[in-house]
Amino acid sequence: MSILTPNKPCKKCGGIERHNNGRCAQCSAYAGRKYRESNRDKVKERKRLYRIRNIEKVKAGILDWLSKNKERVEENRRIWRKNNPEKVRAQNARDHAARREEEKEYSKKWRLDNPEKVKAQRDKYWTENHDKAIEKTHRRRARIAGNGGDYTAKEWQDLVDLCENKCLCCGRNDIKITVDHIVPISMGGRNDIDNIQPLCKSCNSTKGAKTIDYRPHTKTARNL
């Protein structure tokens, strides 16, 4: 705190503002600036030690200043974002990646903590999306074999409808129809709809790894 002594101006600068100890406030401020300019490393280290020893006090001071200068802080942030678009994009990317990692960790922990719920959800999904389950199984097998190819649930359903929901081998339509690859995946067949025919589970198992085309548009069933 300073006091004014208009009847005793400073002999060096002529200032009339003095500290309680009698020293000129202006001369003291000048001397302080000169010292800080000449001893930057010492001042920096002293501030660092102060922050370490008074970390809670420093945090409280920062929060207090931020709460009292919200408009100034927001304006400074706006100006900084405008002048540093690359850094802003990089920070957003880091934040997005961090959030995704947090979500992954949360999901992983939830699955580990709730195995029964996970199984129930998975069973419900594949029960309600049986055709997609078939697609997934055969895509995986095709990828493993390196054969390639793909088909959709709609293509499969259209093929089953075309064949009147019958097994092309035994002709039954009162049993479950399954996907059969005319040229088996294990023999290099592609996972395309053109290489697929509907067979019942029994006929599919009997056919095994043989190449047999039961489709009606072929002249005869071929056993290669």
How much is the mean pLDDT over the chain?
A: 86
Residue 35, Cβ density class (10 Å: 0-12 exposed, 13-18 middle, ≥19 buried): exposed
Q: Report the C-alpha gap between 180 and 206 in whole angstroms.
A: 11
* Nearest in space to 24 (alpha carbons), one of 36, 10, 42, 38: 10
Q: Report the C-alpha gap between 3 and 20 in whole angstroms.
A: 6
Q: Report the C-alpha gap between 88 and 16 in whole angstroms.
A: 49
What DSSP letter does each residue of 157-180 carry, written as one string? Answer: HHHHHHTTT--TTT---SS-EEEE
Residue 167 CB contacts under 8 Å (≥ 6 apart), including other chains: 173, 175, 177, 198, 199, 200, 203
Q: Report the C-alpha gap between 53 and 90 in whole angstroms.
A: 34
Q: What is the pLDDT of residue 64?
A: 93
Banded model confidence at residue 224, pLDDT cuts 50, 70, 90 = very low
Q: What is the pLDDT of residue 62?
A: 92
Instruction: Quote the pTM value.
Output: 0.41
Q: Which residues pair with 222 in a beta bridge?
A: 213
Hey, what CATH topology would domain 130-223 get? DNA Binding (I), subunit A (1.10.30)
* Range 127-155 average pLDDT: 81
pLDDT at 138 over 90: no
For 210-219, write each residue's pLDDT tens digit: 999 998 765 4
Q: What is the pLDDT of residue 219?
A: 47
Q: What is the pLDDT of residue 96?
A: 92
Number of Cβ within 10 Å of residue 151's Cβ equals 21
pLDDT at 209 over 60: yes
Banded model confidence at residue 197, pLDDT cuts 50, 70, 90 = very high
On whether the CB atoms of residues 25 and 2 are closer than 8 A, the answer is: yes
For 2-55, write each residue's pLDDT tens digit: 444 455 788 888 888 888 888 888 888 889 999 999 999 999 999 999 999 999
For 61-117, write each residue's pLDDT tens digit: 999 999 999 999 999 999 999 999 999 999 999 999 999 999 989 998 998 899 899
* Nearest in space to 190 (alpha carbons), one of 134, 133, 135, 143: 143
